[in-house]
Amino acid sequence: MDGYFLDNQIQSTGRHRRKDSNDLKTMHKNSLSPVHSHFITKNSTRVISQRGGLAILPCSVTMSQPATVSWFRRKDFLLLTVGLSTYSSDDRFLVEHTRHLGNWALRIRNAQKDDEGLYECQISTHPPESIFIELRIVEAVAEIIEAPDLHINEGSTLRLECKLKRATESPLYVFWYHEDRMINYDHEDGVSVASKLTSSILTVRNATARHGGNYTCAPANARQSSIYVHVLKGEKPAANIAATPNKSNTSSSTTSIYPTSHSTNVFRNILLEQLEHNFNLDFFVDGVAFFKISSNSSYWVILGRIATLSKTVFPIGIYNGSHKPESFDEFLKDFVEELKLIKNTDINCNNFKLTIKNIRFLLDSPARADVCGISHHNGKNSCPKCTIEGTHVDGRMIFKGLDFEKRTDDSFRQRVNENFHKRTSIIELDLKINMIDNFPLCFMHVVLYGVLKKILKLALGPKKTLYSASNKAKINDLLESMNETLPTELHRNLRPLHEVLTYKANELRIFLLKIGPFVLKNNVTPDFYNFFLLLSNSFVILCDKNLCIKKNNVADSMIRAFVEEAQDFFGDSFYTAMVHQLSHMAEEVLINNQPCDDFSTFEFESYMTPLRKSLHSSNEPLSQLHRRIIEYINSPETKRESLCSEIQYIKQEKNLNEYESVIYKNFKFDCKSTNDRYVLTNDKKVCVILNIYKEDKLKFICRELKQIGDFFDSPIKATKLNFYWCKCEYNGQRKIYDIENINRKLIGITLDDDMCFAPFQQFSS
């Protein structure tokens, strides 16, 4: 064998005879003649197989004379098979040969994510002929439709349906577990299981309190899914919580509800057993659509959270009317009165006094204008942070420029810029808070919705920033493949880029901070790629708790460069209010002394979903919501998050000290899953978790991957921002890392034969 090409192997049959000179001439002539062989299987065929299943890579050939067919794995040039013989020490590889069809398929049993890549099927002609087959491995995922929680009444029938997503083959079995016990055959207890090709249905008749608890659907060849079932006594469909009032005591207005002095009770529940006694409060006010079908009703909510200790969101007040509140001061009056009371009075919790340090309002631009009594974002004097004046261009108000006089609390209260003010709000009069600094700009609305979505929309449009339709297809293929390796904490799959107008905030955030630099490289013009990196890199810094203050000036410089260069791509009409407000984001981080994620509205927006689900009809919605709020206040679930242990051991191996997966500080690590096994150490090594065990503390057994270099080096080197480009090769031997030596979890992305890594979330300093 020469290199990784094989010489011809000529098979002879029949009786042996002496070769005369004519025979030798004939053989010599034939050896110089081309062998008319060709592949029936198309080159660059893509095969998608399921993790843990059987992958079959086709290779059908027609040969005019005998030759040998061999298989190679391209990423490491490993010879797998020659003819019908397996050369690899890995016995999962086997050739399937059907002689009359010319089929030389490569079979890979128990296919794993590491098996992904290009495989070469080669005929030993002179010169050798080859085709390449691309193998992709997907991980099937079980999904229980009602997860994560289901509430049913005692005596009713519990029905759970588990569906398999991304499955390429049916599972041999699907086991259902109640807590830790398999219940598929508990027929005497009213349990029945019906399985189809890609789904399984668990039914429990006459459910009682003992049927409550955690249920797990565990297919043979897919990631399992769990749901927690609450069995309720009586007929309370909302939640298993006490003290639901029979009548709702709403405020004197029939269009709003304020459970009297309930915020103090919520604080006590959430802060119970906490060690810190000074805390910050964040509040959120916004309009929300509770029903998909328009009912000529407008709903506005007031939500809160204790930012210092917990991100648990709690409801405060809800308004319902035929249109938005005519008077926001009237809408906020009860809330402000209660807030004044708790701001000026220490809260007693377990004989400790709890004191509010600071109050912030996290609002989008329209809500800020209504709550603060200032100009809306399309007004000429509408910037909440500086005194820039807008001008009309192409029918829209634009704000072009960077350095203008900053607004202050004093200038706000003295009405220095009269056109900025519309009225004196109840918050300005009664709360005595900084009307500029305590109303930070929102990363979600300014950066993600206001700027990123805008440039992606324009890039896909007439500006022709993308090379061609084929580049768009490559981007969409990359996005689809990345869904297989996204960490389990990211619950939303990536969608094709042409759906960008319907992207949710989390999708935009992942694109900007994690995967955009990998997806766009070589698929957009170099100028636009560098332009995108200015925005991406700056907010990677501003969203990182270690970099946001230390490298704040670097991020600010990149944002300024981005704003200035936007002119070349999109013209003057690009400079809307949100694009201008982008230039204030670095300063907002300094003022709040936090990464900009921490004063964004993600948790509040996420809370809207369960709030909507708590309504079962459009009949008397405020009464329904009031009951749910009171239930929430009295629920021990309100403080569950703060009482959770730092480490949760999920799945134990046979060795009592070893674990397949753990959750540490709300992050999952799984040594058998490509989604949750990549980490960055404190000494900047990219590692794969091979095993997890516990002695005196949690430890990871890891192997380091060989780093290639910087995936991008401008405006900042990728490795400075914890983006890494590695070979699919180990560097050195296994090492043991204490959990304190792990800096952060990484998102692993397969690109060609290499792997790239994006920073996920940091949990050590």
Among the residue ranges 80-89, 352-361, 386-395, 752-761, the one predicted with the least confidence is 352-361
Q: Do 141-232 and 645-762 share a fold?
A: no
pLDDT of residue 310: 55
pLDDT score of 209 more than 90: no
Q: Is the peptide bond before 34 cis (omega within 30 degrees of 0)?
A: no
Mean pLDDT, residues 113-139 taken together: 90
CA distance 146 to 159: 10
Mean pLDDT, residues 92-114 taken together: 87
Are residues 380 and 580 in contact, defined by beta-carbon separation less than 8 angstroms? no
pLDDT score of 434 more than 60: yes
Among the residue ranges 83-87, 123-127, 247-251, the one predicted with the least confidence is 247-251
Mean pLDDT, residues 94-104 taken together: 84
pLDDT score of 294 more than 70: no
pLDDT score of 313 more than 50: yes
pLDDT of residue 321: 78
Tell me the pLDDT band of 308, cut-offs 50, 70 and 90. low
Query: What b/e string do you get for 576-585 counting C-beta neighbours within 10 Å, with b at 16 or more?
Result: bbbbbbbbbb
Mean pLDDT, residues 274-281 taken together: 65
pTM: 0.67
Pairing of strands 278-288, 352-361: parallel
Q: Does domain 141-232 have CATH number 2.60.40.10?
A: yes
pLDDT of residue 261: 43
pLDDT of residue 31: 37
Query: For the domain bounded by 645-762, which CATH number is listed?
Result: 2.30.30
Give the percent of the chain with pLDDT over 90: 37
pLDDT of residue 20: 41
Please, what CATH class does the domain formed by 26-137 belong to?
A: mainly beta
Q: List pLDDT tens digits, range 477-535.
A: 888 888 888 898 887 778 888 888 889 899 999 999 999 999 999 988 899 999 999 99
Q: What is the mean pLDDT of the chain?
A: 81
pLDDT of residue 628: 67
pLDDT score of 12 more than 50: no
Q: List pLDDT tens digits, range 325-343.
A: 888 998 898 889 888 877 7
pLDDT of residue 316: 82
pLDDT of residue 617: 66
pLDDT score of 720 more than 80: yes
More confident residue, 311 or 753: 753
Tell me the pLDDT band of 660, cut-offs 50, 70 and 90. confident
Are residues 714 and 533 in contact, defined by beta-carbon separation less than 8 angstroms? yes
Question: Taking the mean position of all CA atoms in its chain, how far away is CA 322?
Answer: 36
pLDDT of residue 635: 56
CA distance 347 to 263: 11
Mean pLDDT, residues 281-291 taken together: 84
Among 110-114, 339-343, 507-511, 651-655, the range of highest mean pLDDT: 507-511
pLDDT of residue 248: 43
Domain boundaries, given as residue ranges, for the chain: 26-137, 141-232, 443-599, 645-762
pLDDT score of 145 more than 90: no
Per residue, the 3-state secondary structure of 191-203, as one string, reads: EEEEECCCEEEEE
More confident residue, 198 or 536: 536
pLDDT of residue 344: 74
Q: List pLDDT tens digits, range 676-687.
A: 999 999 999 999
The CA-CA-CA angle for residues 694, 671, 657, to 5°, reads 20
The CA–CA distances, whole Å, from 201 to 183, 216, 688 equal 13, 12, 36
More confident residue, 555 or 16: 555
Are residues 721 and 746 in contact, defined by beta-carbon separation less than 8 angstroms? no
CA distance 389 to 380: 5
Mean pLDDT, residues 64-84 taken together: 88
Among the residue ranges 273-277, 469-473, 524-528, the one predicted with the least confidence is 273-277
